[in-house]
A and B are shown apart, each in its own frame.
Chain A
Amino acid sequence: DVKVTQSSRYLVKRTGEKVFLECVQDMDHENMFWYRQDPGLGLRLIYFSYDVKMKEKGDIPEGYSVSREKKERFSLILESASTNQTSMYLCASSGTSPRRVRTDTQYFGPGTRLTVL
């Protein structure tokens, strides 16, 4: 079974803090994704990565950055946390080739519920 793990289930941070959310997958997947999930808004893509050191902006990248130094690990960074970044953050991975992203199932982690005070 594919396993996607996220470093924390719950996190509380203060406004202005730098926040790191870590995601690790164990299936040698090429593609990794970060979403935020908010009630009534569904899942919105923040960033995704097709390969090590490669990244592409999703629909709502403002206020976020990402890092992918190793294939299995994809980090989401909030440079200066703000209260409107309070949300559930979901990491996902898929595929063994960027060319197969089209039909690939995404496998999700358990999520990190971030509260910014």
Chain B
Amino acid sequence: AQSVSQHNHHVILSEAASLELGCNYSYGGTVNLFWYVQYPGQHLQLLLKYFSGDPLVKGIKGFEAEFIKSKFSFNLRKPSVQWSDTAEYFCAVNARNSGTYKYIFGTGTRLKVLA
């Protein structure tokens, strides 16, 4: 069965530190990859997505992610985090399963940025 793994459940960083959140998926076919973010008290919203082309994808608020097909990974990065990046981050894969596309979400990573 397809799955999405986010290995870091909780991450605590100081402001200006660099961030990398891991995301690995298990699926051999064509996938489309997403990172969503949920700021405290707000809706889940799209951070960035990849479906073809340049494997390095840039999103909002200075985030980027790199799709490495050979490693089945789509890690999220930010060179310098801010206190306002405190949120929960979800990796998601949209893959074909029994004729229809279905989203599969990871378990999420809670990021806390200390001012």
Which of under 10, 10 to 19, 20 to 34, or 35 or more describes the interface residues of A?
Answer: 20 to 34
| Size of interface on B: residues with Cβ below 8 Å to A | 24
Any chain A CB within 8 A of the CB of B43?
yes
Contact indicator B105/A43 (Cβ below 8 Å): yes
Contact indicator B103/A106 (Cβ below 8 Å): yes
A107 to B45, CA, bound (A): 7
B61-115, CB < 8 A from A: 90, 92, 94, 96, 100-108
Any chain A CB within 8 A of the CB of B7?
no
Any chain A CB within 8 A of the CB of B17?
no
Contact indicator B51/A102 (Cβ below 8 Å): yes
Given the known interface contacts A40-B9, A108-B43, the answer about A45 and B102 at a Cβ–Cβ threshold of 8 Å is yes
A43 to B94, CA, bound (A): 13
Contact indicator A103/B51 (Cβ below 8 Å): yes
Contact indicator B34/A58 (Cβ below 8 Å): no
A84-110, CB < 8 A from B: 90, 92, 101-103, 105-106, 108-110
Contact indicator B106/A101 (Cβ below 8 Å): no
- 7 interchain pairs (CB within 8 A)? A41-B107, A42-B6, A42-B108, A44-B105, A45-B104, A105-B46, A108-B45
